[in-house]
Amino acid sequence: MNTITKISKKLSVLFLGLTIATVAVAQDEDAGLSISGSVDTYYKYDFSGYNQRGMNYSNWFGEDQNSVSIGMLDVALSHEIGKASFVGEFALGPRAIGEGGSGQGTAPGTIQNLYVSYALTDALSVTGGFMGTFVGYEVISPAANFNYSASYLFSNGPFQNAGVKLDYAISDSFGIMFGVFSSIWDSYIADPGLGMNSIGAQVYVAPVDGWDVYLNFITGSLYSQWDI
């Protein structure tokens, strides 16, 4: 019992969570329209309790204490017409707008992705619109993350970027991306005085099967970030 107690005291945050995350995918092959999405809800009890501000901040998403809470309802539509394609994705819920907890119980919504792409060649494509960011290790939708919650490192970077980018797949194991993006992160409009002054790039390398490495970089007059 003493050993267990000592270990428990060393843990700054300990929580029990029950998470239900399901992904439903449907596709109309005749129309070429693909519909996919996810829905998630969770319960968490944190034995470390609250801090003096009345909330705990152990992670970015899923902060509601001792409550059955919601994450987000996410729905994505995609369609290909020849060399052109589009993606439209919207979500409802506190996680959809990047909030850690549901707060007063409101469930707002937001656009996650809204962009069009065109394949100039088999290896080169151009994409323009509002899209999930290419930097960072986690995304908003829990279905695409290894962990249900997201770290505070995720909150320090962009969730989405608006702009235009070129993707070039030099081979199956090597590719590059270069883009020009809005001066404001997480917004489909730019600062009128700054415009599209953020530049981003990505290098993809797969040295061996099952190991993908990405080097990401974005910089502008307001923010800069890089990761690998």
Q: Name the CA dihedral angle for 163, 169, 172, 175, rounded to a multiple of 10 degrees.
A: -70
- Per residue in 86-105, pLDDT tens? 999 999 988 887 655 544 44
Q: 8 — phi, psi (to 5°)?
A: -65, -40
Taking the C-alpha atoms of residue 53 and residue 44, their distance in angstroms, rounded to an integer, is 19
Taking the C-alpha atoms of residue 82 and residue 127, their distance in angstroms, rounded to an integer, is 15
Which residue range(s) make up the domain with 146? Answer: 2-227
Higher pLDDT, 100 or 128: 128
- Per residue in 42-86, pLDDT tens? 888 777 765 555 555 556 777 777 888 888 899 999 999 999 999
* CB crowding 124-136: b at 16 or more within 10 Å, else e: ebebebbbbbbbb
Give residue 97's pLDDT.
Answer: 77
pTM: 0.78
Q: Structural domain tally of the chain? A: 1
150: nearest Cα among 9, 77, 42: 42
Taking the C-alpha atoms of residue 2 and residue 56, their distance in angstroms, rounded to an integer, is 27
Q: Is 129 left (phi over 0), alpha (psi -120 to 50) or beta?
A: left
- Residue 168 contacts residue 123 (beta carbons within 8 Å): yes
Taking the C-alpha atoms of residue 139 and residue 113, their distance in angstroms, rounded to an integer, is 12
